[in-house]
Amino acid sequence: MPVSLQDLIIDGTLENADLRNVSLAGADLSGLRLRAVNLQGADLSGVNLNEADLQDCILTKANLSGASMLGTSLSNCTLENAELSKANLMTATLSHCVLTGVQAVTTNWAATTLQTCSLQNANLQGGNFECCKLANCSLNETELRDAQLVRLIVVSSNLKTTRFSNNDLSQAMFSETDLAGQSFPGCNLTLTLFAGATLDGADFGGMALSQTIFAEASLKGANFANVQAKSVNWAMADLTEARFSGALIEMCDFSLAKLVRVDASNVQSSYSPMIKADASQSVWNNASIKFCDMSHAKLDNASLRNASLYLCNLHAVSEEGALWAGAELSEVNRTDPELQKAENWKAKTN
């Protein structure tokens, strides 16, 4: 080892050392405690940092390519523009760290936890993020192309300008996360959970969606045109002015969703309830709607010109100003007076 550390390490702790630009390539630093160590520009390629604990360290522009960091803990560390390609950070924990501009191509982040970290302008292409958790992180302009994102967990983070492409996001979870304006070209969103996420203006056009969960998400102005959706959950989502034109929708749920001014022209929908949904001013021209429970939905000022409804429940639907010109309603149930009376019944009070 070009630089001897033995005299600097006391009881397994390396503290306040200036190791800028040194070469520690391939060194065994496993289990060490590093406190306020300056490793700026250091060559740490292939280093063993397994189970090491780093606090307040500077690793700006350090070369950590191929490093083994299994279970490593990093707190308040700066890794700006560091090289982390092919490193293994499986089960590592990073808290309040700066990783702006890092190069981490095909890096293993599986089961890693990142808390309050900045990954802006980072290149994470082809990385493995399976079961990784990010909380309160910023990924502005971060490159995630071809990364493995199965069961990724993202909480309260900013991913508005993160670049997704050809990612497997199956069973991933985005909770209270900002994804406004996002698109997911070539991505697998099977069982992906976007509950409570912000996806205003997001583009899902033409995608195949299976069991994706958008419950309670904000999807104002989102594009779902020509999607093939099966068992997708949009319950309680805000889909104001979203586009569904030409979509194929099967066994999905729009109950309690806000569908105001939605463009659902030429939609083919079956077994997809809209119970208590607000579809005021929406457009369903030439739509085919089958086996749909629309009870208590709002269709005020909606347009259903030349639409076809088969075996649908329109009980207690509000349709003031709705346009039904040319619509074909077959075996459709209108409001049931007895049921409505029971629904409106209130116990007498003394």
Is the pLDDT at 3 greater than 60, yes or no?
A: no
pLDDT tens digits for 195-231? 999 999 999 999 999 999 999 999 999 999 999 999 9
* pLDDT average, residue stretch 88-93: 99
* pLDDT average, residue stretch 70-78: 99
Banded pLDDT at 299 (limits 50, 70, 90): very high
| % of the chain residues with pLDDT over 70 | 99
Is the pLDDT at 2 greater than 70, yes or no?
A: no
Q: Which pair of structure tokens corresponds to residue 277?
A: 């949904």
Domain membership flag for residue 288: no
**Dihedral sign of CA atoms 338, 343, 347, 349 in order:** negative
Closest CA to 62 of 25, 28, 92, 109: 25
Domain membership flag for residue 183: no
Closest CA to 183 of 222, 129, 128, 130: 222
- 338: part of which helix (H) or strand (E)? helix 337-343
Supply the range of the domain harboring residue 63: 1-70
Residue 261 near residue 282 (C-beta atoms within 8 A): yes
Domain membership flag for residue 339: no
Domain of residue 2, CATH code: 2.160.20.80
The percent helix, strand, coil of the chain (3-state, each to 5) is 0, 30, 70
* pLDDT average, residue stretch 46-61: 99
Buried b (16+ CB within 10 A) or exposed e, 94-112: bbebbbbbbbbbebbbbbb
pTM of the full structure: 0.92
* pLDDT average, residue stretch 328-332: 95
Residue 285 CA to residue 339 CA, distance in Å, equals: 30
Domain membership flag for residue 332: no
Residue 31 near residue 11 (C-beta atoms within 8 A): no
Residue at token pair 């086996």: 291
CB count in 10 Å sphere of residue 7: 6
Is the pLDDT at 287 greater than 70, yes or no?
A: yes
Give the model's pLDDT for residue 4: 72
Is the pLDDT at 336 greater than 90, yes or no?
A: no
- What SS3 class is residue 340? helix
How many folded domains does the chain comprise?
1
Residue 168 CA to residue 187 CA, distance in Å, equals: 6
Give the model's pLDDT for residue 350: 65
Banded pLDDT at 1 (limits 50, 70, 90): very low
Mean pLDDT of the chain: 96
Is the pLDDT at 125 greater than 70, yes or no?
A: yes
For 337, list phi and psi in degrees, rounded to 5: -55, -40
Domain membership flag for residue 176: no
Give the model's pLDDT for residue 326: 98
Is the pLDDT at 14 greater than 70, yes or no?
A: yes
Instruction: Mark residue 331 as left, alpha or beta (left: phi above 0; alpha: psi -120 to 50; beta: remaining).
Output: left
| % of the chain residues with pLDDT over 90 | 92
